[in-house]
Amino acid sequence: MKSPDNKKLIICHIITRMIVGGAQENTLLTIIDHIEKGHKVFLVTGESSGPEGELLKNKKFSNLKIISCPELVRNLSPLKDLQAYFSLKKILKDLTPDVVHTHSSKAGIIGRAAAYKVKVPFICHTVHGQAFHRYEKKWKNFIYKTAERWAAVRCHKIFAVADAMIQQCIDARIAAPEKYKTVYSGMELERYLNPDISEITALREKLQIPKNANVIITVARLFPLKGYEYLLPAAEIISKSLDNVYFLVVGNGIMYDEIKVKTEKAGLKFVFSGLVPPADVYKYIAVSDLMLHLSLREGLPRTVVQSLASGKPAIAFDLDGSPEVIIHGKSGYIAEPENYRQVANFALKLLKSPDDLKTMGKYGRKLVKNKFDWRRMGDILEEEYRKGLEEQEAGRKNNE
């Protein structure tokens, strides 16, 4: 797909880590789309090793220059954060980009500050998920909100992957409503929409899940706030009512041993896939009948969109962007936050009514099919870059 404008842009994306995760996949697809349009694109990222997996590992992307900034780390570290700021300033001075687009909280704060200091023509940021949230300590939320307000003054536009993210920012007085725009996170949905049946059958056999068993899937890192403390008691309730139900967990993390021990003690039928390459996740979702996404902190969960694209209803808590894709009673169910009993009841209701399961699956697939196409996301962002550059140039001329 060619850009409608002959002028090609120099675009620099900055992100804290390129682990296997939604924000990272969003960023990578944006980059691929803009490279295909002929733009010159750079990616600046910190170290990405860890149990979550490395998204860029063993992959090569033509015409993409990846620049390492080891000082850019996830945790608060005043010394490294200051070093990252100076490193990013130097990198941006050398690159002279037209656009700097930051992602994730840490890179968003430091990256916008560095871009502002070197006077990058158009600076924008995407909110994939809030650093501040109801489950965080008050003093940390104060720091995060203060930092976000400071950074918001140092950029021209803020995108968010869900309307809920924008409302949270406005409520927290981060920036004025006109500074925001929702850009739904684009995804490669073709395989979810049209999976290879033979691959699905083979995977089910490999996972040793019986043909007649119900399968409930969760695709999430095994980390705090990802909802496993609610998944397990919900699974116990469901398993008491349905004999042949399996729980498929796709992901890895620091809580693996703890969760595995608890499921074994409870006699639950849990299957752990470990880390799965993003390109293969569709197979695991296709094996399932229903998705539970019980994370307490999310932007708009990509795995829910992928589940709906696969024709599988989803159940999630009434948090963040989940209600924007899980239309209650139509593409799944929205439960009260932390209410695992309600989650279990909704799951049983669906699994005991195959017709409703199928009807909701069809509705969900239709809902997300075009709305979350990755090229649509790329087109919107390119248009916003150009619009922003034009506005900044017009403002500069008016001030001369």
pLDDT in the model for residue 397: 78
The CA distance from 150 to 144, in Å, is 10
Mean pLDDT, rounded, for 325-348: 97
pLDDT tops 80 at residue 400? no
pLDDT in the model for residue 292: 98
Residues facing 127 on adjacent strands: 160
Are the CB atoms for 12 and 112 separated by under 8 Å? no
| Pairs from 165-171 (Cβ < 8 Å, separation ≥ 24) | 165/127, 165/129, 165/130, 165/299, 165/300, 165/320, 165/321, 166/127, 168/130, 168/320, 169/127, 169/130
pLDDT tops 90 at residue 51? no
What is the overall mean pLDDT for the chain?
93
Mean pLDDT, rounded, for 55-81: 88
**Cα atoms in the Cβ-side hemisphere of radius 13 Å centred on 36:** 11
pLDDT tops 80 at residue 347? yes
346 backbone φψ class: left, alpha, beta (φ>0; ψ -120 to 50)? alpha
pLDDT in the model for residue 1: 43
pLDDT tops 90 at residue 50? no
| Window from 24-28, 235-239, 335-339, 391-395 with minimum mean pLDDT | 391-395
Domains in the chain: ranges and CATH: 10-186+373-399 (3.40.50.2000), 190-368 (3.40.50.2000)
Q: How confident is the model at residue 399 (pLDDT cuts 50, 70, 90)?
A: confident
pLDDT in the model for residue 268: 97
Q: How confident is the model at residue 277 (pLDDT cuts 50, 70, 90)?
A: confident
* Most confident range, picked from 52-56, 279-283, 325-329: 325-329
Q: How many CB atoms lie within 10 A of CB 5?
A: 13
Are the CB atoms for 149 and 175 separated by under 8 Å? yes
Q: How confident is the model at residue 71 (pLDDT cuts 50, 70, 90)?
A: very high
The CA distance from 237 to 365, in Å, is 28
Mean pLDDT, rounded, for 222-245: 95
pLDDT tops 90 at residue 27? yes
The more confidently predicted of residues 394 and 343 is: 343
pLDDT in the model for residue 3: 46
The more confidently predicted of residues 95 and 395 is: 95
Mean pLDDT, rounded, for 367-386: 95
pLDDT in the model for residue 5: 60
Per residue in 200-210, pLDDT (tens digit) is: 999 999 999 99
pLDDT tops 60 at residue 2? no
pLDDT tops 60 at residue 4? no
Q: How confident is the model at residue 309 (pLDDT cuts 50, 70, 90)?
A: very high
pLDDT tops 50 at residue 26? yes
Q: How confident is the model at residue 77 (pLDDT cuts 50, 70, 90)?
A: confident
How does 138-171 read in b/e, with b if 16+ C-beta sit within 10 Å?
Answer: eeebeebbebbeebbebbbbbbbbbebbbebbee
- Percent of the chain residues topping a pLDDT of 90: 81
Exposed/middle/buried for 115, CB within 10 Å: 0-12, 13-18, 19+? buried
pLDDT in the model for residue 350: 97
Per residue in 350-362, pLDDT (tens digit) is: 999 999 999 999 9
Model pTM? 0.85
